[in-house]
Chains A and B, each alone.
Chain A
Amino acid sequence: EAGVAQSPRYKIIEKRQSVAFWCNPISGHATLYWYQQILGQGPKLLIQFQNNGVVDDSQLPKDRFSAERLKGVDSTLKIQPAKLEDSAVYLCASSLEAPSGIETQYFGPGTRLLVL
């Protein structure tokens, strides 16, 4: 079974520029998550989709971050404009069912973003 795919793997941009990340979850997985992992910290949930609807985006900085999952399959996360503190690894994960507290999340390899 193919895993969670993410692209690009690395991105370097200057502050105030825009950037977009793409994620393709495991086939058939209803729930998709985006996490931000700053160096030396654990992943922090940004947004969670159930099919193509947003379940939780309480920690997404909505003034600059946006995400969509239009057809309930793949998803894009955008930052516009980027700030220096956005430098991090952006992880995408998916799970088969809605979060139940015991559902296993499967993670992609991440996109490493450096903002100069």
Chain B
Amino acid sequence: GNSVTQMEGPVTLSEEAFLTINCTYTATGYPSLFWYVQYPGEGLQLLLKATKADDKGSNKGFEATYRKETTSFHLEKGSVQVSDSAVYFCAFWGNTGNQFYFGTGTSLTVIP
């Protein structure tokens, strides 16, 4: 069935460190892939997305590349800031069942 496996947290990094949050998916076909972010006290917000294989989504210094061969969509940022502290969710839109599937979320804390 459809599912998302996301790197478990919590993750704690120092400011300016490199960030990778792993995400792999199981789906029928080649769905669009998304990263959502939830800042403390706020609702989920779209961070970036990619709609086909080899596409790279990017926003606010974050990047993720749609890797069809490894069914992965890992989130990366070269230099994190304290303001990046949030929970990050990987998700995809299932072609069957017509609904969103979310990972369990990865909590990131960036310390000065």
- Interface on A for B, CB 8 Å cutoff? 3-4, 33, 40-45, 48, 55-56, 58, 91, 93, 99, 101-102, 104-110
User: When each residue 12-34 of chain B gets 1 if its CB lies under 8 Å from chain A and 0 otherwise, what string results?
Assistant: 00000000000000000001100
- Once the chains bind, are B32 and A101 in contact (CB under 8 Å)? yes
Choose the segment among B43-51, B62-70, B74-82 that binds chain A (4+ C-beta atoms closer than 8 Å): B43-51
Q: List 7 A-B contacts (CB under 8 A).
A: A42-B103, A91-B43, A99-B93, A99-B99, A107-B36, A107-B43, A109-B43
* B44 and A101 form a contact (CB under 8 A): no
Asked whether A43 and B46 contact (CB < 8 A) given A101-B32, A102-B51, the answer is: no
Tell me which of A41, A58, A108 contacts B43 (CB under 8 A). A108
Q: Indicate if the CB atoms of A101 and B93 lie closer than 8 Å.
A: yes
In the complex, the answer to whether B102 meets A43 with C-beta atoms within 8 Å is yes
CA distance A93 to B102 in the complex (A): 14
- B44 — nearest CB in chain A belongs to which residue? A107
Q: How many residues does chain B have at the interface if contact means C-beta atoms less than 8 Å apart?
A: 26
- The distance in angstroms between the C-alpha atoms of A45 and B44, with both chains bound, is 14
A92 to chain B, nearest CB (A): 9
Q: How would you classify the secondary structure of chain A's contact residues: helix, strand, loop or mixed? A: loop
For residue B69, give the distance in angstroms from its CB to the closest CB of chain A: 20
Chain B contact residues, CB within 8 Å of chain A = 4, 6, 31-32, 36, 41-46, 49, 51, 89, 91, 93, 95, 97-105
Establish whether residues A45 and B100, one from each chain, have CB atoms under 8 Å apart when the complex forms.
Answer: yes
B51 near A101 with CB under 8 A, answer: yes
Q: Is the CB of B46 within 8 A of A42?
A: no
